[in-house]
C-alpha cells in the first residue's frame, strides 16, 4: 500500500474497524516515511451485482461511481470525511442483502436519496435535483417544503 503523499511503501496500521455491513474493514494507516495518515478499505470480494439501467442496458454495480455521486452531493457539507464511503457501504450492503443478481438503477438512486436525506438535507436536495431532474422550481419547492414539514414534526409542535 503506497503512501498517497510520498509513495513510500512502508506504512503501518494505526486503527482498524469493521464497518456496519461487516464485509468491510476500514484501516487508518500512517506512512513510516512522511507520517501522512490515510484510510484504506478492505472488502470481501462478493458475488456479481448487476445494475439494470433505464434504457435496459446492464452494467456491473460500480461502488466507486456511487461514492463519487454521493461525495459530489456532500461537498462542503458538515459531515464526516468518510460519510460518502459509509453511505455507499450501507447501500451496497442493502442491495446485496436482498439477494438479487440484478437491481434496477432507479432502486440504487432511491437508496442513495434515502441515505442522503437522513444525513444532510442540502446534500439530499442537490442529489435529488440532479437524479430526478426536477421539472421546474415548483417541484423543487415542494420537495424542500416537505423537508421543512418533516423537521417541524421532529421538533414537536410549535409553541
Closest CA to 102 of 151, 52, 154: 52
Q: Which residues bind Zn ion (CB under 5 A)?
A: 3, 5-6, 8, 31, 33-34, 36
Distance of CA 23 to the CA centre of its chain: 16
Shorter beta-carbon distance to Zn ion: residue 1 or 98: 1
Shorter beta-carbon distance to Zn ion: residue 3 or 74: 3
The nearest distance, CB 73 to Zn ion, in angstroms, is 30
Alpha-carbon gap, residue 153 to 149, rounded angstroms: 6
Shorter beta-carbon distance to Zn ion: residue 35 or 104: 35
The nearest distance, CB 24 to Zn ion, in angstroms, is 24
The nearest distance, CB 34 to Zn ion, in angstroms, is 3
Q: Judge residue 90's burial from the number of C-beta atoms within 10 Å of its C-beta, 0-12 exposed, 13-18 middle, 19 or more buried.
A: middle
Shorter beta-carbon distance to Zn ion: residue 36 or 113: 36
The nearest distance, CB 28 to Zn ion, in angstroms, is 14
The nearest distance, CB 10 to Zn ion, in angstroms, is 9
Beta-bridge partner residues of 11: 31
Distance of CA 121 to the CA centre of its chain: 14
Shorter beta-carbon distance to Zn ion: residue 31 or 49: 31
Alpha-carbon gap, residue 133 to 130, rounded angstroms: 5
Question: Which grid cell sits at 77?
Answer: 457539507
Alpha-carbon Rg for the chain, nearest whole angstrom, is 19
Amino acid at each position: 500500500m503506497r503512501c498517497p503523499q510520498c509513495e513510500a511503501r512502508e506504512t503501518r496500521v494505526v486503527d482498524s474497524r469493521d464497518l456496519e455491513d461487516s464485509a468491510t474493514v476500514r484501516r487508518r494507516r500512517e506512512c513510516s516515511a512522511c507520517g501522512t495518515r490515510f484510510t484504506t478499505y478492505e472488502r470481501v470480494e462478493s458475488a456479481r451485482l448487476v445494475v439494470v439501467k433505464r434504457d435496459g442496458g446492464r452494467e456491473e454495480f460500480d461502488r466507486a461511481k456511487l461514492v463519487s455521486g454521493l461525495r459530489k452531493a456532500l461537498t462542503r457539507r458538515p459531515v464526516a470525511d468518510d460519510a460518502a464511503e459509509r453511505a455507499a457501504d450501507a447501500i451496497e450492503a442493502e442491495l446485496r442483502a436482498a439477494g438479487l443478481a440484478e437491481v434496477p438503477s432507479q432502486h440504487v438512486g432511491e437508496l442513495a436519496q434515502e441515505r442522503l436525506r437522513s444525513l444532510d438535507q442540502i446534500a439530499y436536495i442537490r442529489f435529488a435535483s440532479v437524479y430526478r431532474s426536477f421539472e421546474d422550481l415548483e417541484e423543487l419547492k415542494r420537495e424542500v417544503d416537505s423537508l421543512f414539514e418533516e423537521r417541524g414534526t421532529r421538533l414537536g409542535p410549535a409553541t
